[in-house]
Structure 1
Amino acid sequence: MQDKIVIVIQARMGSSRLPGKVMLPILGQSLLARMIERLHMVKHPVTLVVATSVNEADDVIAQEAEALGVACYRGSENNLLDRHYQAALLLDATVVLKIPSDCPMIDPAAIDAALEYFFAAGSRFDYISNLHPATWPDGNDVEIMTMQCLTHAHQQATRQLELEHTTPYIWENPEQFRIGNIAWETGLDYSMSHRFTIDYQEDYEFIKAVFEALYPSKTEFPCADILNLLEQRPDIMAINSAYAGVNWYRHHLDELKTIDAGQTKTITPTQHSTH
């Protein structure tokens, strides 16, 4: 049977730090549209679905998905594991990719490389990612799991962080799942030094600057082009560099078994006071 690969894009308007971030404009299109445009560049045959909440505030995301010709599932606001599972179920997925909606500059080649690794292994893995440990610049997050794996996590996960962040039950329980990881082929580790994701106003300014510099001449610019630009334009690199390495792990170091303090950074009070 041919596998059906479904990419689930989790998106909502209610970000506490940067509300409405997925609908912010990048060269005349929403950030979500720019991200979906990049996901359409994946070489493997994939189906996209936007998974948002039933909240009225997220009507605009459902409308954007429809305008872009992408399926949309609406479910729980805070149980993202359930939202992810239901969206995958709706589209009859056998293989599920989790891509957060705050990765508008994700390199399609990172997704293809992960899929090639996953399928080359036959049925050796239930779950693979490029995050455990992470090596790519932050914002190239790829997690791939079988539908059976996602179903098992959906049935067993109970902790709030497992429901809110979708996959921790899987990678926190390696004795229950066959887990693999794919490293960035450069051999480098930019996961804590380069930030291509969006959570703060500075992240938006950074992403906007990169798109304005690269997109007009090469719509499908890869990660290497971004890195070259940042070498030539340290002023762009500096826009959100204060937040490099900051991620959600910092709030849960006492609860996570497989994550240590070296994999996250804490925001300083001076950073916090401006937001």
Structure 2
Amino acid sequence: MKTILIIQARMGSSRLPGKILKPLGDTVELDYVVSRCRQVQGVDDVIVATSVLSQDDEVEVWCRKQGVTCYRGSEDDVLDRYYSCARTYRPDYVIRVTADCPFIDYQLGSEMVETMKCSPCDIVMLEGVLPRGLAMEIVSFAALEYMHTHGNEERHREHVTYYAYEYPERFRTVTLTVPNEIRHPQLRITLDTKEDYAMLTAVAEEFKGDMLVPAKRVVQYLLNHPDIAAINAHVEQKPVI
């Protein structure tokens, strides 16, 4: 069972340009994401997939310096970028992570890989809603290929796995229950705005020097410090259209 993890990353952001290489803790935001993704058990390689635009040269340079595999593809057709990247490595399964999640839950990610290993399917569905910014997704390469072929709407090309959630009957699924301790969807632990950055900076300072702090501790910290959680509580996610 060959499993790769692909992090979609780009410098372009309408609300917070260059966000993934902004300072965070003792390093930069993307370092948090890559370091935590490398903790997911059962993953053969962690790859950063960025665009071919010149503004993303900086991402490739960072990856080269850090010894991180980097792939470059389409800016707007993110599904094609993912599929083309995955096809290069011919995995059985692909884990999807977005680069704006510095406290991604690698422990839950490891459970998802184990679930897929024990019950092979097209996609592992999570039962229970998490804070935005903690979850990753795992799909079979065959399912990713099917989505690439059949997902022709703009929303399917921009949001890699969206097709599978629109047409779940076309895929074999297995459900993994999310632990109660991280079922707090009111929290926003992702980076898209200056308010998000302020909140995440506060969290990184609380756990300074520990990029691998368990996600459940981050959640508990925010529950215990509602003033910190409130910094970006009003931020709305962009709708899928």
Name the amino acid aligned to 1:60.
E
2:221 is aligned with 1:223: no
Match of 1:80 among 54, 78, 81: 78
1:198 corresponds to 2:188:
no
1:208 to 183, 195, 201: 201
Give the conservation status (yes or no) of the 8 Å contact 1:81–1:154: yes
Q: Which residue of 2 aligns with 1:264?
A: none
Q: Retained in 2: the 8 A contact 1:215–1:221?
A: no
C-alpha distance after superposition, 1:215-250 (max 9, x if no partner): 33x44211221123223322211111112xx334x3
| Closer/same/farther in 2, CA of residues 39 and 25 from structure 1, 3 Å limit | same
Higher mean C-alpha deviation, range 200-209 or range 135-144: 135-144
In 1, Cα distance between equivalents of 2:224 and 2:147:
44
Q: 1:82 to 1:247 in 2, by over 3 A?
A: same
Query: 8 Å contact 1:138–1:190 — kept in the other structure?
Result: no
Q: Contact 2:104 / 2:136 at 8 angstroms: preserved in 1?
A: no
Partner residue in 2 for 1:95: 93
1:163-174 equivalences under 5 Å are 163-174=157-168
* TM-score of the aligned structures, taking structure 2 as reference length: 0.94
In the alignment, the residues of structure 2 paired with residue 46 and residue 116 of structure 1 have an alpha-carbon distance, to the nearest angstrom, of 14
Distance 1:228 1:176 in 2: 37
Structure 1 residues 204, 135: closer, same or farther in 2, change over 3 A? same
Deviation, 1:6, is 0.6
Mapping for residues 41-60 of structure 1, pairs under 5 Å: 41-60=39-58
Q: Which has the higher contact order (CA 8 A, sep 6+)?
A: 2
Q: Aligned to 2:143, what secondary structure does the other structure show?
A: helix
The answer to whether structure 1 residue 33 and structure 2 residue 31 are counterparts is yes
Identity rate, percent: 32
Counterpart for residue 145 of structure 1: 139
TM-score, normalised relative to structure 1: 0.83
Q: Is 1:66 aligned with 2:64?
A: yes
Cα RMSD after superposing both structures? 1.7
User: Does structure 2 conserve the Cα–Cα contact (< 8 Å) formed by 1:203 and 1:239?
Assistant: yes
Instruction: Give the Cα separation in 2 of the matches to 1:231 and 1:96.
Output: 32
What SS is found at the alignment partner of 1:242?
A: coil
Unaligned runs of 5+ in 1: 253-275
Give secondary structure in 2 for the equivalent of 1:241: coil
Distance (whole Å) between structure 1 residues aligned to residue 164 and residue 156 of structure 2? 9
Larger Rg: 1
Which of 108, 122, 127 in structure 2 is aligned with 1:126? 122
- How has the CA–CA distance of structure 1 residues 92 and 215 changed in structure 2, closer, same or farther, with 3 Å as cutoff? farther
Aligned counterpart for 1:116 among listed residues 114, 117, 128: 114
Note closer, same or farther for the CA distance 1:118–1:211 as it changes in structure 2 (3 Å cut). Answer: same
Aligned residues: 241
Aligned-partner residue type, residue 135 of structure 2: D
Q: What is the letter of the counterpart of residue 168 of structure 1? A: Y
Secondary structure class of the residue paired with 1:135: coil
Asked if the contact 1:100–1:141 (Cα under 8 Å) also holds between the matched residues in 2, the reply is no
Give the superposition deviation at 1:185: 1.6
* Equivalent residue in structure 1 for 2:151, among 130, 148, 157: 157
Partners of 1:106 and 1:178 lie apart in 2 by 25
For 1:242, the aligned partner's letter is: H
